[in-house]
Amino acid sequence: MSSASRKLVTALTWAVDNIELLLAVVGSATVAFMDLFGDTIGFRATSGATVLVLGAIAAGSLRERHRDSNLAEAVWKVQRTFEGMEMVRSLTGGEIGRELREAREQTDFWAFKGGTGTYLRAMTLPKCVERARADRSNLTFDIDIVDPSDDRACAAYALFRESYGTAGGSSDPEHWTPERTSKESYATILAARWHLQRLPGMAIHLYLSSTAPTLRFDGSHSCLIITQDDPARPGLLVTRNHPLYRYYIVELQQSRNQARNIELSSARSLDEDPTVDQTRAFFAELGLPLPSSFSDTDVVQIKTKALRPENPYPN
């Protein structure tokens, strides 16, 4: 393309992009000319030229508004992007405990899926029950943990915990073994039944899984918090208004559908401090009899973990 042709194309492009401006200039010149020779040309022609100028100005204004609209839409998209970043964010250190605490204080529903529920029975369950009792409100828990009677699942979970270890944050002196995994899950089941008696308006749906999870899910009405068993590793917070929240909630429901459902309310009530025999009878009624290898000392250990638990992640 020659230099003259390029200049012509550039001029035509500018003219098209600024057609309203050209019309306004031409119209203004026309009106000025008609004002000079108004008697000869006539008032009607002058009025028509004036309308042309006003129309060009209006068209230019609309075009500018369209440009502003596109800009506003672009700004809105950027804002949504930043909002989306806030809806899903990483949690480290003390942020995890703080977010879990805030979620507990603002909900009447909690869904948990994890290994054996050590933090659940030490903090989440008693704290939620305590708040609900003070507010005289109802409370619903969905709990999904490893089946304590499934030897393969307990062995797989113990192997996972021992393989990855703890980088820091836990003062737990015990090693993870299949037997310990089983005891921890039994303790969570016992704790769930014991707390259920303390709050008449409470419902607990308990599910026992035959698979060993690698993540821990804590979901409330406001958010979903995904963590690992080691608090030194980062967690993830997903707020309710993010699509990921719905995806994970559906995933958790699907997991519960494939797990073994236990009706806690069908078992006998427990004393404030249940005896060894009462504890054994409780699990037998649930269809989860304690292994014959568990001594009375083992049963006391389960009861202690259930009713006098220590926070595994005090920091």
| pLDDT of res. 79 | 44
| pLDDT of res. 62 | 47
| pLDDT of res. 139 | 95
Domain assignment present for 314: no
Would you say the pTM of this structure is higher than 0.75? no
List of residues 6+ apart from 75 with CB closer than 8 A: none
CA distance 239 to 224: 6
| pLDDT of res. 166 | 54
Domain assignment present for 238: yes
| In the chain, % of residues over pLDDT 90 | 59
Nearest to residue 91, comparing CAs of 251, 252, 238?
A: 238
Q: What range does the domain containing 18 cover?
A: 3-87
CATH of the domain at 234: 3.30.870.10
* Angle at 91 (CA atoms; ends 87, 94), nearest 5 degrees: 135
CA distance 173 to 280: 27
Q: Which two tokens stand for residue 298?
A: 């083992």
Please give the single-letter amino acid code of residue 95: E
Q: Are residues 103 and 224 both part of a single domain?
A: yes
| pLDDT of res. 268 | 82
- pLDDT tens digits, 217-239: 999 999 999 999 887 889 999 99
List of residues 6+ apart from 105 with CB closer than 8 A: 131
**Average pLDDT over every residue of 177-189:** 97
Point out the domain boundary residue: 87, 117, 142.
87
Helix ranges (H only) for 139-242 are 151-164, 178-196
Point out the domain boundary residue: 87, 107, 141.
87
- pLDDT tens digits, 84-133: 446 789 999 889 999 999 999 889 999 999 999 999 999 999 999 999 99
CA distance 302 to 273: 12
Higher pLDDT, 314 or 129: 129
Domain assignment present for 313: no
| pLDDT of res. 124 | 96
Q: Are residues 69 and 131 both part of a single domain?
A: no
Is-contact 172 166, C-beta < 8 A? yes
| pLDDT of res. 80 | 45
Confidence of residue 164 (pLDDT cuts 50, 70, 90): confident
Domain total in the chain: 2
| pLDDT of res. 168 | 46
Is-contact 206 264, C-beta < 8 A? yes
Q: Are residues 51 and 177 both part of a single domain?
A: no
Q: How, if at all, do strands 88-91 and 235-239 pair? A: antiparallel
Q: Are residues 233 and 96 both part of a single domain?
A: yes
> Which range has the top average pLDDT, 10-19, 61-70, 209-218?
209-218
Q: Which two tokens stand for residue 102?
A: 């805030």
Give helix 296-307 / helix 178-196 axis angle, nearest 10°: 50
Residue position matching structure tokens 């559908």: 257
Domain assignment present for 264: yes
Point out the domain boundary residue: 62, 87, 112.
87
Domain assignment present for 170: yes
- pLDDT tens digits, 296-305: 999 999 999 9
Does residue 206 surpass a pLDDT of 80?
A: yes
